Structure 1
């Protein structure tokens, strides 16, 4: 596996642990529909959190969340619509980003709730 893929997988594992520690139930990881993949689908209360995880080995070139493009957002919306329809769910839906990045010898985790309103 390429080094960047391993880093991404590591970031997703940290994100799952972080969400679980904060009261979320993980429903799916790496859920795919057509060309879209949702990194994490989690539930907290009556809310379905669609979580995009971005991991970087440094923030020298920008924060991880800066690398989410409008096309990715469109794909996430399409995929979650399919997920909700397929599973006949009735939840409030929000889109979060978990940014994982290394500073010195530590990995930082930033959870941005309703992230696409912040871009």
Structure 2
């Protein structure tokens, strides 16, 4: 999937926000129904919570403008994946959702200032 953006270089926070917007559009185009974006609790944040049929999908979005510090997907290590799983339990409790089949996805976006975004959707990434 390719999307254009303006030529000015965004701040890291703005790049992250733009990446999450792009990821949300992508997931909706794939037929997922987004339930929450940037859901926060004292322990942290979930980027996107959606449903894909009868399955809950928790999607972490990582956006980078270059691979200088590694690929975006490399930012999700065991510790980060464990925290996302724990936050998912908190999200379900806050939304009165009993245990359900859950998939943990990762959307990796490489978005250099001089070209279109490259999005990779890793289903069941962790």
TM-score by length of 1: 0.88
Q: Determine the structure 1 residue equivalent to 2:35.
A: 27
Structure 1 position 34, deviation (Å): 1.9
Greater helix fraction, Structure 1 or Structure 2: 1
Q: Determine the structure 1 residue equivalent to 2:20.
A: 12
- Does 2:100 align with 1:94? no
Unmatched segments (≥5 aa) in structure 2:
1-9
Unmatched segments (≥5 aa) in structure 1:
none
C-alpha distance in structure 2 between counterparts of 1:66 and 1:42, whole Å: 23
SS at 1:29's partner residue? strand
**Aligned length in residues:** 115
Structure 1 position 70, deviation (Å): 2.2
Return the structure number with greater relative CO, CA threshold 8 A, min gap 6. Answer: 2
1:44-85 CA-to-partner distances (Å, cap 9, x unmatched) read 101111000000001243210101122221221111111122
- Aligned CA-pair RMSD: 1.6
